[in-house]
Structure 1
Amino acid sequence: MASSSTSSSKKAASSLKSFIKDVRGAKTLADERAIVTKQSAKVRTKLRDDHLSHSKRRTNIQKLLYLYILGEQTHFGQVECINLIASDDFVDKRLGYLSTSLLLDESEDLLTLLTNILSNDLNHPSNRYIVSLALNTLGSLTSIELARDLFPDVQKIIKHSKFNREPLIMKKCLQCLAKLITKDSSLLEILDLEVIEYCLDSNLFRMNHGVLLSISKLFQAILLSYDSISRNNDQYEIENYNTKVIPFISKYIPTLFEKLLGLMNDITPEFNVQGTADPFLQCDLIYTLTLFFNFPKEIDDISKHGDKFINVLIQVANNTSSTTGPGKVVLYETTRSIFSLKNFNETEMKPLYTLGINTLATFLKAKDNNTKYVALNSLVKVIPYDPESVQRHKKFILNCLNDHDISIKMRAIELLFAILNNGNLIELINEIMNFLENLYANQFKNFNDDWEKMIHLIIDSLIVAFKKFSIAEETGNPSDDSIWKLKILIKILKLVGNFIDMETINDILISFNNTENIDHKFQLISRMLLISLKPETLMDEIAENNIAWNIVSIWCLGEYSDSLLLNKNVAINHEVINEFTIASYLQKMDESYRIDKDVSAKTLIHYLLTSALKLSVKLNDKRCIENLRRLILNRTKDSDLMIQLKAVQYDILFNQPANVKKVLLSAMPIFENSSASPSIDTAATMEIKSGKTKKNDLLLDLLDYSTDELQEQKKEKPANLLQELLQPNTTNNNSSSTEQQQKPIITLPDDAKEIHSSENIEVYSKLISHEEGFFQMELYFKPLISINNLKTFCAVTKTQKLTLGQLFCSTTNNDTFPKHSIIRQSLKVTGTGKLKLRLKLTFESNDTGSELSEQFDHKFDQTL
């Protein structure tokens, strides 16, 4: 019998081996497809044969698994896999469980066929390996129905089976229970607490690391299932769950402390990994304890151990080596635990935050790039907790910019921009610019998509940083800030202007336009135009396809050419910058981008036409003006409809008298911000400032308006066009129009009840109306710090529907909310059941610039 079994297994292996050899030996994809299709058909035919021997059936199932690995359809063999499990032969059963775990998933209806088979194998009287196979399959491949049916069988193994003293079976049982509870949290209602008590009080638990690891997994599943229970069950079941399970398992917290601290001194060779005792178990114990102390309900058995847990984390962080991979894993899990704790006050956590950041900073010194990446990625997330501690390690962050791995460079750049403030703005921006210059010099010819992404990251982050921070506090002169930023932007344009998108170019142009120090601004622009207008240096200093540089140069010529040529305070090389070279440069740009039809090239043509039109009133040379007119005229037949339309309109304006064009083509105004648009026409504003009479108002004559009509419209229209769209029709009464424009003062009502309070914000609620199936209230938010970009996210139970209104505040800007201001938001709920609200708030602190978020749950007394 033994020789017969051996020969059959050799045949099976040989047959499978030949199939694999044929597939690998196929010379073309068509040959491989033919071999796979032929074998798939053979397997399908063989499995339909009811008289097929067990050895051949196993061979075909093995071929089926190889087809699965190749990505082929294997659904026709699923029933045969289940039939193998039902066999009494262990060889068949083992292969059947393996193939079932791979070929089926929890959504398959065929899983119902496994219920009785798994139940029988779980209660097998003599073979521990069959029980082990059944536990593995049930844990990895289970549906909600299967979990509910077989959960008592798994508990029975621990309490009454003769294998309940064997570590192999016990650890698999506990992990299977954890998987089943994760699948269906309602199983906690029938969880036998004696099972946990037996495992924890037995010597097996105290001696075997595998069982202890499984206990940790079970605790994690119980703690994580609380959120699921709170969302799907009523209040009685939640309280019942808390009363029974959590206090019971929380009494074992000291035991987990003891085990975790004992592992640091454990030198058992069996569990020693490069000098660290069982890092897998240490990480799981730390995570389990973190879940205990993050439990959303106040439980005395947990809260009384809070100080002990902080001391344990400090001991683990101080006594674990950071020179080995396993030690770094334990330290990383420790820092994750530190920054995820929510139920401790800030005073207790401040030293712990510093310890966690210092631990992550030691990873930056490692030679392993994976460790560096993890450290940089984690430090970005923990900056809001203790920004000063992260600032101390900027030397090591800057060193990461010299790493060869581009992913390390990108994460280091993200972190540098995250720690920016008014004090270190000059230092860090200069370091980033030096990095960009070296990158341009060494990698420009070898740029790929990753390099381009990094450049986009630098440019976008730089624009955002310039809007948030200033060097005026450090230098004492506000004008120095805009000039310094303008120098940086010009250097950015020169180095990597070909990677800048159009939205960023618009932000750069606004920075040029809003710079108030005119003489310094013109001096910088003249140096920029000196490069653009001098052809022999163009190839040496900027790239040919530097479209952002060209757009900004064209815009500056249209806006400032007359001021540059006439300003005596600015030293200009008139041999390079004169009317002839300006017109020639625009013609050159027109020829260079005549064939290129991508989006950025078309945008450049739009800027080019506008600049040519503006220069028609700023240049005096008639030949240059005629060249500009021809430039516009040639574009009136452009294949792009928008360019053609603009060229036709500009051609009409070009032929207007000079005194008309000067009013139309006046300089751009100062922008308050990039998104705001002027509420009154710029030309009309210029007319009011210059004090022109009605007779000389040529712009109004051109637009077929009279001055009286325009003034009458100004009286009737609100100053803000957005308010005009949102407001109802106004009357001619100026006082009523003014009242509609004024925002009502929002105050906190006396009968509002506080539902949440933290160091950053307080939340109140006020009942408006309550009927059967309908509830309406108002939420009031009172920031205790200056914040902006407040966003609220609300959720109710599945039986209810929520309608959330807009945020309203008395301040002029609904995106920025000063300290102690009141923000109001309406809220309507329809449906049935007890009213419970989960609210998440996200906002940015104006003091630190960090992003903050808070989440809380509140249960109201009312029932819909």
Structure 2
Amino acid sequence: MSSQTRNEVKARLRPFGIVFEKSLSDLVKGIRSHKDPESQAKFLQEAIQECRKEVRSSDMDLKTMAVLKLAYLEMYGFDMSWANFHVLEVMSSSKFQQKRVGYLAAIQALKNDNDVLMLTTNLLKKDLNSSKSVDVGVALSGISSIVTTPLASDITDDVIKMLNHSKPYIRKKAILTMFKIFLKYPEALRTHLPRLFDKLNDEDQSVVTATITVICELSKKTPKVLINLAPQLYDLLNTSNNNWMSIRLLKLFSSLTSVEPRLKNKLLKPVLELMSTSKASSLIYECVNCLVTGNMIDENDYEVANLCLEELVEFFKEKDQNLKYVGLLAFFKIGKINPEFISSYSEHILEYLVDDDLTIREKALAIVDGIVNDENLFQIVKLLMIQLVPPQENENDSNIEDHGDLSSYLPQNKNTPVVLTDQYKTNIILKILEISSRDNYSNIPTFEWYIAVLTDLIDLSIVNNLITGYEIGEQIRDIAIRVPSIRGQIVSTTIKIITNENIVLKLPQVLKECIWVAGEYSSFIKNGDDLIYKILSFENKLIQLDSEILSIYIPAIMKIFNNYVNKDSNYWDNDKAEIILKITKKIILFFEKLSISRHFEIQERSVEFLEFLKLIIDAINEHDSNAIEPPLLLTVALPSFFNSWELKPISLGSQKRIPIPGDLDLDTVINPDVWEELIDQESEDESIIEEFEEGLYEDQGGYELDDHETYIGGNGNGNGIERSPSEENERRKNERLERLKDDPYYLSNDSHSQILSPKSRNELISPTPRSLTPTLIEIDDGVLNGHKSSSLINKSDKKLKKKKKNVVILSDEVIGGVDQPNSDPDSDRSKPIKPTTTKKRKNVLKIDSSNLDNFDFDSPPEPEKDEGLLEVEKLRKKLESNSITNQSLDSKPNDEVIVIRKKKDKKKKKPKTDENGNPIEKKKKKKRTTTSTEGTSEQVEPVEPVVNPTDEY
């Protein structure tokens, strides 16, 4: 049976339900039956091949079914762009069922194919002007999904006509389609936006709702244009019974109040009435959101804020987690206006800090600032820290201190603990630091408790593999500066931190501030020699630290050394001299390794102190052995480096407020002779570099190589290796780097911290310090026996008191006026510590309205130009540029210059006549022969010279 006969038989049998081709349901059943990935992939490939054959059929029913199956397979990731023209054929069908399938496939396949979309313009115009409303409706739905800028400019007028269609179904679709057209073609707003506003008076409620929806979306980008609609929209808000329309109107008014503040007084009363009378949770939330985002609640509007919060509390009583989340979201917005608004609702926020839903926990954590005060800070911090304890430690009650009032907030089901992300754990630590340090630590009950909290946070950061060392270290440093009475305990805490090998390995970021505190306030340390030996016992681990951290270790060790040798500046004997010599030589060995660091800051600091320490050794050796006083280099010179001024907290922006001295001159050269020498040296260096570059590729031939030539190396015997200039450059560069890699004075661009292994040298001493207990370092305030966990987690410790102690906390010193918190963005305390948030992903489903961002209604519309005229204008400009270029070139005598001039309108002149009245014939000019560059001769018409260069071409 031939293929033509087979098709005829199928066509006759199809009306009776006998179909030999697979339908969409058969395809779905086949996919579900092939559960094995390999067999399913094979089945899908076979289905694709069948569809390729079916779409080429002349039978429109068969072609439609093939397109429908391709649209389904496109959702599996198969590309169907190859069938775009077949989709157009199905779209142009006169049968609605087939046309609907075509538009469905077009929505999925024609979004990015501009060439095919150009062919759909006439088809869309035809369907929009069809007498069948179903054809118009499916065309409008397709346009809203596949519209592009050229397509929008062509069909805007046809869509606008549908705004007056007799059926509300079509009018509603046309309004929504116009929004998509506005996004792609903003110029349509100038002429067609009033037509859209007229639909607010439509007799059908669904059409009005669709109009308000479009206006609401436009208000997010162009609210100024919609201010004149405020009275009409206000009437709709008071008369509407449709919750969806009311929600849209509230969103619309929240945008309008940003450009028209006078709307606040008019809208406040009806919005509050709507919030109190409505039973729909979505509408209540939108009323609260309108009041907040529309700036209708001031910092002192306690009454309005309480009305909103009372409505939101009802959300917390529902079992729906979505209502709880949006309630917390509104709480967060109100709390940002004034934290005191939500202070009386602390029980709800504390309850959600341990909710089973992690998103609710995160939102509760974000608004916990508003309920913190000096009475509940202790409980809130404890509740947050309990969440950081690993689950295996949280299973037994014996491992956790009695939670007291907080026991009700702990999760009851311990078998299925909530899995917390690292980001959430980091946010918990940052939130603890933020609420504790707020208002210059005014909420801290006792600083002994807070120091224990910081110590536990370090341990919890290590257990949870969190990188929060920088923030915790900054808190330790700030407390040490601001609270003088607690410095002894702070120093003892920092000593436990910097001598803990586990912290050095797993949380080195906290060492930067801790070693600084230990050095700055080293006067609280009695046996500084033991501390130095303990620090240097991690020598191999320290040199691997980040350069910024390691550079702080150098002056800190010297400060500890200074306070140790000057503890008793009037006492001196041979034993003390021997101990100081040993510790000095130990420090010298460490600094010598740092002096060849590739980081300039480490190298400079270590070299400076290294030379001074060598002078100390010489001074001790030369000092009289019978002397009762130490050398002056130890008692006078060394302390003068560090004991000039006491560090105090400075207000933000103080440095900018220091006036510049009037006699300060930064332009005059201090030493002209040295300046001239530097200039001469610089010019000499430049000349050397130029000579080197000129002779870089010169060989025995004595000429420079072109880019396409090769460099022949070797001894001139012709046996060299052929290299291009770039290869020769690379070879010379590698040789230079190889030659300089062991040079300690050469600074490479390597950004990684790297200490070169020092050359073999004889050790100055064999470091055998006197009896040293690594876990026993004496402090003026007592003796610290190892690292001790705080009472927040260890049950054996005593319960901390919640009573607040009165201590002196230094405030920032203000220089030159009132403190300006945001005047110095580079300062450490210029910004409060806030939990970090993950970067938001771009929402693929979000409508792109970027074309409306810079749209200006006040500017005149751009005139539309015909494509033919545009091509003529481009050609004219091209000819004009060519003629100007030809005039500017230095042409040879035989060259011919072609000039295009605009013909001038000349009046017809009477022909010249002779004395007898007979017309005089003009003499024809002879054509001259020119020779082209190819050597051929050709005759050209002579061209008159251009008289006026300003003529238009």
The residue type paired with residue 474 of structure 2 is D
Aligned partner of residue 402 in structure 1, secondary structure: coil
AA aligned opposite 1:108 = N
Pair 1:352–1:170, CA change in 2 (3 A): farther
In the other structure, the counterpart of 1:558 is 519
1:12 aligns with 2:23: yes
Structure 1 residue 176 displacement after superposition: 2.5
Q: Do structure 1's residue 138 and structure 2's residue 90 form an aligned pair?
A: no
Amino acid at match of 1:11: K
The answer (yes or no) to whether the contact 1:400–1:412 under 8 Å persists in 2 is yes
Map 1:771-850 to 2 at 5 A. Answer: none
Structure 1 partner of 2:291 = 338
Gaps of 5+ in 2: 1-11, 395-416, 566-575, 617-632, 671-814, 824-829, 833-854, 859-953
Deviation at 1:93? 0.9
Asked if structure 1 preserves the Cα contact closer than 8 Å seen for 2:498 and 2:504, the reply is no
Q: Which residue of 1 aligns with 2:328?
A: 376
Provide, for residues 235-255 of structure 1, a one-character-per-residue CA deviation record: whole Å limited to 9, x for no partner. Answer: xxx7xx98xxx45x8436424
For the residues of structure 1 that align with 2:200 and 2:191, how far apart are their CA atoms? 17
From 231, 235, 241, the equivalent of 1:254 is: 235
What is the alpha-carbon distance in structure 2 between the residues aligned to residue 556 and residue 293 of structure 1?
52
| 1:464-613 correspondence to structure 2 within 5 Å | 469-470=439-440, 489-490=454-455, 492-493=457-458, 495-496=460-461, 499-501=466-468, 503-504=470-471, 507-518=474-485, 520-526=486-492, 529=495, 545-547=506-508, 554-565=515-526, 578-579=527-528, 581-590=530-539, 597=544, 599=546, 605-613=550-558
Q: In the alignment, residue 126 of structure 2 is paired with which amino acid?
A: N
Query: Do structure 1's residue 434 and structure 2's residue 382 form an aligned pair?
Result: yes
Distance 2:441 2:427 in 1: 22
Larger fraction in helix: 1
One-letter amino acid of the counterpart of residue 113, structure 1: L
User: Is 1:77 aligned with 2:43?
Assistant: no
Amino acid paired to 1:332: Y
Cα separation, partners in 2 of 1:130 and 1:426, compared to 1, 3 Å: same
- Which residue identity does 1:313 align to in structure 2? V
1:92 equivalent in alignment to 2:98: yes
Q: What secondary structure, in the 3-state scheme, does the structure 2 residue paired with 1:670 have?
A: coil
| Alpha-carbon spacing, 1:395–1:57, altered in 2? closer, same or farther (3 Å) | same
Tell whether the 8 Å contact from 1:426 to 1:471 is kept in structure 2 after alignment: no
Distance 2:98 2:598 in 1: 73
| 1:662 match | 639
Is the contact between residue 498 and residue 535 of structure 2 (CA under 8 Å) also seen in structure 1?
no
* Structure 1 residue aligned with 2:802: none
- Find out whether 1:618 has 2:563 as its counterpart: yes
Q: Deviations over 1:494-526 (max 9, x none)?
A: 5437745464356235314413524x3214433
Unaligned runs of 5+ in 1: 231-237, 264-278, 322-326, 566-577, 680-717, 733-809, 819-843, 847-856
- State the Cα distance separating 1:335 from its structure 2 match: 1.3
Asked if the contact 1:486–1:511 (Cα under 8 Å) also holds between the matched residues in 2, the reply is: no
- Tell me the secondary structure at the aligned position of residue 395 of structure 1: helix
- Show CA shifts across 1:627-685 (max 9, x none): 57436525644796336775555433332325233333548841444988999xxxxxx
Q: Which residue of 2 aligns with 1:729?
A: 667
Q: TM-score, normalised by structure 1?
A: 0.60
Counterpart of 1:81, as a letter, is V
Equivalent in 598, 612, 626 of residue 641 of structure 1: 598
The amino acid across from 2:235 in the alignment is P
Q: Deviations over 1:764-820 (max 9, x none)?
A: xxxxxxxxxxxxxxxxxxxxxxxxxxxxxxxxxxxxxxxxxxxxxx976895599xx
Contact 2:299 2:337 survives alignment (8 Å): no
Distance 1:624 1:462, change over 3 A: farther
CA–CA separation in structure 1 for the residues paired with 2:178 and 2:474 = 57
Which residue is 1:104 aligned to?
110
Cα distance change of structure 1 residues 378 and 482 upon mapping to structure 2, 3 Å threshold: same
Higher relative contact order (CA 8 A, sep 6+): 2
- Aligned mates of 2:668, 2:817 — CA distance in 1: 21
User: Where does residue 315 of structure 2 map in the other structure?
Assistant: 363
Q: CA offsets, 1:313-356, max 9 Å, x none?
A: 223322334xxxxx3322221111112325x6969976444433
Within-5 A mapping of 1:673-822: 673=650, 728-729=666-667
Secondary structure of the equivalent of 2:97? helix
For the residue of structure 2 that corresponds to 1:254, the secondary structure is helix
Cα pair distance change 1:351/1:22, threshold 3 Å: same
Query: Does residue 122 of structure 1 match 2:125?
Result: no
- Distance in 1 of aligned mates of 2:449 and 2:481: 13
Structure 2 CA distance for aligned equivalents of residues 461 and 52 of structure 1 = 69
- Deviation track 1:17-36 (CA, whole Å, cap 9, x = no partner) reads 477458853249xx94x776
Change (3 A) 1:649 1:351: same
Question: Structure 2 length as normaliser, TM-score?
Answer: 0.55
The aligned amino acid for 1:651 is L
Does 2:610 align with 1:651?
A: yes
Aligned equivalent of 1:216, options 195, 212, 219? 212
The within-5 A match list for 1:161-172 is: 161=166, 164=167, 167-172=168-173
Whole-angstrom distance in 2 between the partners of 1:22 and 1:531? 63
More strand by share: 1
Q: Which residue number in structure 1 is paired with residue 350 of structure 2?
A: 398
Question: Structure 1 residues 11 and 152, CA, compared in 2 at 3 Å: closer, same or farther?
Answer: same
Q: Which residue of structure 1 lines up, in the alignment, with residue 586 of structure 2?
A: 630
Correspondence for 2:424 among 429, 432, 454: 454
- Which protein is bigger by CA-based radius of gyration? 2
Deviation of the 1:85 alpha carbon: 0.7
The letter for the 2-side match of 1:496 is S
Instruction: Give 1:379 shift.
Output: 3.0
Task: Name the SS for the 1:11 alignment partner.
Answer: coil
SS at match of 1:390: helix
Q: Is the 8 A contact 2:658 2:816 kept in 1?
A: no
Cα deviation, residue 185, structure 1: 4.6
User: C-alpha offsets along residues 681-709 of structure 1, whole Å, 9 cap, x if unaligned?
Assistant: xxxxxxxxxxxxxxxxxxxxxxxxxxxxx
Is the 8 Å Cα contact of residues 528 and 561 (structure 2) preserved in structure 1? no
CA distance in 2, matches of 1:106, 1:63: 21
Deviations 1:398-423 (A, max 9, x none): 22222233333332222123x37xxx
Tell me the alpha carbon deviations over residues 41-73 of structure 1, each in whole angstroms, 9 at most, x when there is no partner. Answer: 7755765x4x44323423432343244323343
Task: Please tell me whether the aligned partners of residues 363 and 372 of structure 1 are also in contact (alpha carbons under 8 angstroms).
Answer: yes
**Contact 1:12–1:55 at 8 Å: present in 2 too?**
no
